[in-house]
């Protein structure tokens, strides 16, 4: 995520409504579960792989959007938030490894936590750069280069790889730009162009055309929320219990792993 646009004055983000995330939690868990059940449990001869390549491709960009949204608007301590996601990932890793796969891989919680940490750090650098409070531009440039090297190294070991790690930083870039008042042509062009890295990266996340379409469409919906639609979304009728939200990811993998064991 670039430190600053040379022609746009950085402003603190406006705080839009987060009511949509209540709906997003339900949708994310349902689409994720559909993806994993169709991928790991249902027989190949059922020919239902289309569900994983369509409905299942909504989950990750939706999870990433909610994490980026909370990092920008709803938490004062992104590092603590990232640690909570990592704890869920550590609990889920053992049942996650029980799923059929070709090589060792860290689950999606590691992708989200590392992406959030990276995006939040780059966002803080952006604010410091705009305020002229960076202590040493040369050291900052070196640290950014080292973070890029870490991205190259870690990418193959996490779910969704290099593109997955970029999702939250790109979401944060787009959300920050789209929630600022756009009073001039330059600021409107900057807001529009801030969405391009996210959409291009989303198009690279998957291989099939159907999967790409659902992933990019999900990202477009998230961008529309940041552009103002979020303030029109009502509160969800039944909020997801916090324990369900925190436990579902490792628990559903444990259930799938048990079923796979029983089916052998």
Res 190: pLDDT: 81
Count of positions (residues) in the chain: 264
Res 102: pLDDT: 83
Res 248: pLDDT: 97
Mean pLDDT by 10 residues, the chain (264 residues): 39 77 97 94 80 93 97 90 96 94 93 96 85 78 93 97 97 92 76 92 92 96 94 94 96 95 83
Domain ranges of the chain: 20-263
Handedness of CA 195, 13, 147, 2 (dihedral sign): positive
- For residue 132, the surrounding DSSP H or E stretch is none
Res 13: pLDDT: 53
Gap between the terminal Cα atoms of the chain: 46
Q: Of 256, 214, 258, 202, which Cα lies nearest the Cα of 52?
A: 214
Contact 16, 34 (CB under 8 A): no
Q: Pseudo-torsion of CA 16, 21, 22, 28, nearest 10°?
A: 170
**Would you state the structure tokens that stand for residue 187, as one six-digit string?**
């600021």
Q: Could you tell me the pTM of the whole model? A: 0.90
């Amino acid at each position: 995520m670039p430190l600053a646009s040379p022609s746009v004055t950085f402003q603190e983000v406006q705080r839009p409504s987060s009511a949509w995330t209540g709906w997003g939690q339900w949708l994310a868990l349902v689409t994720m579960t559909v993806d994993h059940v169709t991928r790991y449990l249902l027989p190949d001869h059922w020919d239902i792989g289309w569900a994983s390549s369509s409905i299942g491709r909504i989950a990750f960009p939706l999870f990433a959007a909610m994490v980026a949204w909370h990092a920008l608007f709803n938490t004062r301590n992104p590092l603590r938030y990232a640690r909570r996601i990592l704890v869920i990932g550590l609990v889920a890793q053992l049942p996650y490894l029980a799923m059929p796969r070709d090589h060792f891989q860290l689950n999606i919680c590691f992708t989200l936590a590392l992406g959030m940490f990276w995006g939040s750090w780059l966002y803080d650098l952006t604010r410091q750069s705009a305020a002229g409070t960076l202590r040493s531009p040369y050291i900052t440039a070196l640290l950014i280069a080292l973070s890029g090297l870490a991205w190259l190294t870690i990418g193959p070991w996490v779910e969704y790889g290099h593109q997955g790690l970029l999702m939250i930083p790109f979401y944060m870039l787009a959300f920050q730009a789209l929630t600022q008042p756009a009073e001039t042509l330059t600021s409107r062009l900057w807001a529009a162009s801030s969405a391009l890295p996210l959409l291009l990266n989303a198009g690279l996340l998957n291989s099939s055309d159907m999967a790409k379409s659902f992933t990019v469409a999900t990202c477009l919906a998230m961008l529309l929320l940041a552009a103002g639609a979020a303030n029109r979304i009502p509160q969800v009728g039944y909020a997801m219990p916090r324990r369900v939200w925190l436990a579902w990811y490792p628990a559903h993998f444990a259930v799938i792993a048990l079923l796979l064991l029983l089916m052998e």
